[in-house]
Structure 1
Amino acid sequence: MKTTATYNYAFWNTMRGKHDRPSDMSEGGNSSGYVVPSEFNEKYLKTLEKENVFRRLATTIDSSTNEGTINVITSIGSAQWLKEMTAIPESADGFKQISANSYKLAAISKIKNSFVGDNNFNIEAYLENEFSRRFGRAEEDAFINGTGIDAPTGILHATGGGEVSVTTEEGVDLSYDDVIKLYFSLKPEHRRNAVWLMNDETAFYLRTLKDANGNYLYNSVDDTILGKPVYYSNYMPSIETGKSPIAFGDFSFYWIIQRQPLTISRLTELYAVNYETGFLGFERLDGKLIVPEAVKLIRMA
């Protein structure tokens, strides 16, 4: 029903405060609001990718249950050449179960009533941009720094995040050799699709590092280090004592478990005194690094 033109039409009429047939909204409605139409959700997710680097790099799993466990593959077996009539050995695939929660992320966007009632005002585009900006930034912060308490577990979490493979010497600046060590600390199978993640300040510092022959570590032509792409997030910490300013790995092993897609509720009375209408948007999701060794970290002493 949420994919039909009928639901899409009824949804946006409801958002504008125009009465429509309740039966047209029953499939996507609940006590908290209405799930956005599929067409809108597709555009919203594409915009969300621009705001949140993890929406581009991580793996998203859709799950309709609120809580429970998810089966994940932790290791993959290999193929073997065999003689004819030889028994085929069992796969060495490894599996484990991880618990996944249903954390709620919410925001309220207010619009003047004069705009809400104006058919020339593109309320779809406005809410798409507003919620993708707010949710994208909050998600990215949690996927990096989240504690697993009322929010997803981030890659920098002490026990649920990536592995610290390089610790700098105390009183010594981050060096060219430290970055090389981090690169080779990652297993080749994870290095194949690996990328770097850091904030702007760290990237600026790495652009100044040179080897003994004066060659820069950072290739500013294509934004790569040792041939691997560099991604930026200002939610990554700077180069400070006790912090992990650089992550390197295959971020597809970070799973975003989408429990409930974007749902919007129209708030008509709360902001009426200001001639405004509120739009409460929320989603339910979790995030976990399912293979910790797939992402390596540098720790500043």
Structure 2
Amino acid sequence: MIAYTERLPYTGSPEYDKHFWNAMRGNDSSYAELSKGRNIETGTYAMPNTANNKYMAALQKESLFRNIGTLIKAYDFGYRIFAKNSNDLAQWVPESDVIPIYEGIDDFTISTVDSWKLAAFVKMDEAFVRDAGFDIENYLINRFAKNFGRAEDNAFINGTGIQMPTGILDATNGADVGIATAEITYDDVISLYFSVKPEYRRNAVWLMNDETALALRTLKDSAGNYLWRNSDDTILGKRVIISEYMPNTESDSKPIAFGDFSYYWVIGRSPVSVKALSEKFALHDQIGYLAFEFLDGKLIRHEAVKVIQINTEAIG
């Protein structure tokens, strides 16, 4: 687990900020002043609060799922997700009648949250780093945001749940299969849309890669009407989102997902932490930077997102 010698308020001080960026410029003596922000497990140091806020803003721009999913900050050592499971509704009650009480026994499902470690590494020429005019803070923030954002999205789609988050395409804990087909047709896309309950269709979006999107742009109904509306890039009024990490339309793949992705929770487990590696690359006049995130991701309601399953063997 992640352990800090002191919790994070210390990283908001001007002194911590100054010493942190001095350390990033290769001044190893500054690390002595950063001990309260040290991550014991990795030997890295939490970003100052101001820089971490900038980093989170940059990461949200890079990460698709941090925009369509739900972000949860859970820095405590233990954490569980309670997901409402019932279909109870409000009911009209005549005056003086008994109020009906919901008796469901499976009112909540409980999911545990893990703390998976994601690492990113970048190198820079020492001449740039030590140049007082070089904006090392914004450079590192944007580099790490891009690296982490891409890795996160890949895991949130294809993750196995083993030493990484559980992706929406996971066979066991991912999205439900809405329809199985040998080849995607106009009617298949319509069927996938209606396989999702109305409550999840309200804020639903489509997710696919470029190749699948290109194929769907050419689909027409029997009257010659296109499925895809070019004026606003929607299908049946719902926005299409493109991700390079969605698979192509091949046997046993799940190339299209549709639903309410707010039920995919991205759970931050600790702030990003960084350490400069000065000696390791000194012979090349470079400084390396190693950064870590600890996070998890889960689709807490599998029926909220449905996928098309391509299965040529199952369709006779």
Residue-by-residue CA offset, 1:47-91 (whole Å, 9 max, x unaligned): 222322111111111112345533233346433333444454445
In structure 2, what is the equivalent of residue 30 of structure 1?
A: 39
In structure 1, what is the equivalent of residue 259 of structure 2?
A: 249
Moved more, 72-81 or 258-267: 72-81
- Distance in 1 (CA, whole Å) between partners of 2:267 and 2:176 is 22
User: Are positions 1:295 and 2:305 aligned together?
Assistant: yes
Q: 2:83–2:301: 8 Å Cα contact kept in structure 1?
A: no
In structure 2, what is the equivalent of residue 135 of structure 1?
A: 148
Residue-by-residue CA offset, 1:248-296 (whole Å, 9 max, x unaligned): 0111111111111211011111111111111110111111111000110
RMSD: 1.9
In structure 1, what is the equivalent of residue 172 of structure 2?
A: 159
Counterpart selection for 1:69 from 67, 72, 80 = 80
Give the alignment of 1:107-146 within 5 angstroms.
Answer: 107-146=120-159
Q: 1:74–1:290: 8 Å Cα contact kept in structure 2?
A: no
User: Are positions 1:205 and 2:218 aligned together?
Assistant: no
In structure 2, what is the equivalent of residue 100 of structure 1?
A: 113
Counterpart selection for 1:53 from 47, 57, 64 = 64
Superposition TM-score, scaled by structure 1 size: 0.92
Deviation at 1:21, TM superposition (A): 8.3
Percent identity over the alignment? 51
User: Are positions 1:17 and 2:26 aligned together?
Assistant: yes
- Distance in 1 (CA, whole Å) between partners of 2:162 and 2:115 is 11
- Distance in 2 (CA, whole Å) between partners of 1:53 and 1:33 is 27
Structure 1, unpaired ranges of 5+: none
Look up the SS of the partner of 1:214 in the other structure: coil
Structure 2, unpaired ranges of 5+: 1-9, 312-316
The AA in structure 1 aligned to 2:135 is N
Q: 1:54–1:140: 8 Å Cα contact kept in structure 2?
A: yes
Superposition TM-score, scaled by structure 2 size: 0.88
Look up the SS of the partner of 2:11 in the other structure: coil
Look up the SS of the partner of 2:232 in the other structure: coil
- Distance in 1 (CA, whole Å) between partners of 2:61 and 2:18 is 27
Q: 1:66–1:101: 8 Å Cα contact kept in structure 2?
A: no
Distance 1:21 1:174, change over 3 A: closer
